[in-house]
Amino acid sequence: MASRLASIYGTEQDKVNCTFYSKIGACRHGERCSRKHVKPNFSQTILCPNLYKNPIHEPAGKRMSGRELNYQFDAFYEDMFCEFAKYGEVEQIVVCDNVGDHLIGNVYVRFKYEDSAQKAVDDLNSRWYSQKPVYAELSPVTDFREACCRQHETSECLRGGLCNFMHARKPDHQLLRELNLSQRKYFTMNAYDEMTKKPVNPQGSSNHWVSASIERRR
């Protein structure tokens, strides 16, 4: 019995736990959901709900060109990557382009290690971004391939921004490549310095992890 319950946990066959919350870390029913939202005690992934403010939803943003919108998003993504990397090695960041209340502006970050994710949650809940408090929580999401809308990736999703699966907005490919290479170089240098007992000075390294947009709450 126990093995069967474990095998169907978070699947369509699970009548107790919410499938959407297990896969996506968010559910359109919220606290009113008839099924359980089991919050993890530890995870590699964190969720910062409503962190990304897409300018297209603001009057001024409607006058922006596609190129300007992409530039703004890339600047946001780079800012977030650099900030999250301060807590530990980042494996993946997903920014939701959905418009449903439970997914709009959600930013998911999967770290290499669980302790990095916990460190980020502990610290980010005392921070501000764009003049608003940042909220962060551990997320049950383990596989973004299951959480992201496959039809959206091929421009075939009929539900648009109201889809209950993640519509991930992608940064510029070259930017993402440079961020990952810079991170890899930093952590490689860090590991080498740790082995040779040399003090590490992040401000003096060549990766330039600098971000002033997320501020400490007072």
Mean pLDDT, range 170-180, rounded to an integer: 97
pLDDT for 119-166, tens place per residue? 999 999 999 998 899 999 999 999 999 999 999 999 999 999 999 999
pLDDT for 79-116, tens place per residue? 999 999 999 999 999 999 999 999 999 999 999 999 99
Residue with tokens 């999401």: 141
Q: Which of 95, 98, 142, 134 is nearest to 217 (CA)?
A: 134
170 pLDDT more than 90: yes
Higher pLDDT: 95 or 207? It is 95
To the nearest 10°, the Cα dihedral for 174, 180, 184, 190? 120
Measured CA to CA, the distance from residue 164 to residue 100 in angstroms comes to 8
In this prediction the pTM is 0.83
38-180 carries CATH number 3.20.20.70: no
Domain ranges in the chain are: 38-180
